[in-house]
Structure 1
Amino acid sequence: LHLENEHGGFLLKGRRSTLERFYTEDVGEDSDENESKAPNKPFLLLRREESTEFDVIFKPTLAQRLEGRIRVLVGDVYSNKTLIELVGEGHQDEFTLDGLEEDTQERNADSSLKKDIIEAVRVNHIQFGDCPVGKPCCRTFTITNHTRTEVMRFEWEADAPFQFSPKVGHLHPGCAKDITVTLKSDVPVTFRRHLVKCKVTKINFELPQRQVPDWDDQMSIVTWKDTTRKDPGARWPKKEKMVETAPEPAHTVVEDSSQEAELYLSGIADYAQFQLSTTVVQLKDTLPFQTTRATFTMHNTGKVALEYSWEEAADSEVVQKPYSIDLMC
């Protein structure tokens, strides 16, 4: 394999299965010709129906788009049929979404391929998969502030049936925070790359930054309040637990610091549906201690996965029928 990597950034690394098939000398049949012939260069040998794996690593040093190629040398000739295009984009963002999935639909439907321009695939997609109607499906990812001195405020612009937790919050310099997004729909619905935006701004606190604690809308303050209720014989009235959302620290927004992060959400919320080939299973008459089997078919006719379990009905009864035994003398 030959890696064409003019500007650097790409690395090709063989796995253990590759190293086991890597040779530095001829491995053909023993002959005088082979014994006297010195090996030209190391090579990889794959026998019939064998396979091996490689890792392609992208490690950019600058915020730029890089391209490369991997060519396969078969014998002494490059194979025109085997050409792997490598595309990567190095970025240096102050605010990132981490732990997301590759948007395969964007990669497959990218119209720029027709223009011989390959775009790097964005990793800004969450696939919920199949979700039963009325039940929550949750996914978690991370947001990160990569700056050294700036405090950032984030706010997700999302409505039902999607919920973000936390939806609003602060990120101190060099800090990260886990975000949980929940899909819960009371009606059947399908989402394909539903766009949700996160508004991000830089802020300045009124107090010194070291004196301001972390904050988001999921943080709360617990206090105990006196009530008018009092137990018989008690000297003090009962106290009631009060839970309130922690107030957002006072701050001002830095001018011209607003930016948006995009996140795509996909999922299907629907009722599970199925069909049975029969509703009555008639077993043949069976002698005691013998076994009889019957087969029927269950078919998932819905759009989501079908989860099921079998249990015996509470009102079912075993009907015992008399039987006779003929004695043979």
Structure 2
Amino acid sequence: MFTRTRRLRNSKLLREIVRNVRLSIDELIYPIFVEEGENIREEISSMPGQFRFSLDRLAPELDELKSLGIKTLLVFGIPKHKDPIGSEAYNPNGIVQQAVRFIKKNYPNFLVITDVCMCEYTSHGHCGILEGCDVQNDSTIKYIAQIAVSHVEAGADIVAPSDMMDGRILAIREALDEKGFINTPIMAYSVKYASNYYGPFRDAADSAPSFGDRKTYQMDYRSSKEYYREVEADIEEGADFIMVKPALAYLDVIKAVENISLPLVAYNVSGEYSMVKAAALNGWINEQGIVMENMYALKRAGVELIITYHAKDIATWVKNGEVTL
């Protein structure tokens, strides 16, 4: 007798009861871009369906997200002023700090995560303090810690440092604890590669480096070993979440670290999003089917939380009864 594995695929109901990978709207984190200025609701040309908002145009977007059941936001800021030390990043009245205060005052049920980095705020577009053309690690982490504190003072629930400087998790933890924020978690961009998938994000956040690249501090995708050290270091320094970024090209990495003792997060990044959108707009793929397949691939690999620009689409499909999670 040969094995008949198809028996368990024989009907939709049967497939539903035997599946063991599940997804919830509660596990999706939606990135939003908040820009300094007024009356701004500008679609990002390389990210169809994604917008930059000024604070005075943010409420309708938040209303829609709330109605769809999305509960967690990742906030990015785009300032008017940039300088070599990214001073707007830690300005108590900077755009992220204002956005956090606005959200927590008017939409207190959102869980607000803030991206902690300098690339959107520096005139050179790099993620830290320069000496010549080199990003200085140890001087940068002092600024990173200051940025994180300013976000939490504004009301952020979680801070997510994305700069990839060595020791920044410990620097943030110590700075937060010193200010009395001992219960504020850190979501570490622990495994962040120097990736070509970030192109559309750099359009969205005006964060492309003005020279060179970020390969001296973001990870080399040709290495299959260093991500262990990054994860171990961040856990030892006090991280509360571990993130892998990008997501889909790094399922092997996600799978390799899935058994860590902390929640595992994947960032389904802008390039991954935009490729799906572009193909869908050209009629080449079934967008809904591809998106859901990608989400379940991440869950199958071991992810617990997914940062994705598809979150609003997924929530809309569920609300309309087009998709069952």
Q: TM-score, normalised by structure 2?
A: 0.20
Q: Which has the higher strand share?
A: 1
Q: Give the helix-richer structure, 1 or 2.
A: 2
Structure with the bigger RCO (C-alpha within 8 Å, sep 6+) is 2
TM-score with structure 1 length normalisation? 0.20
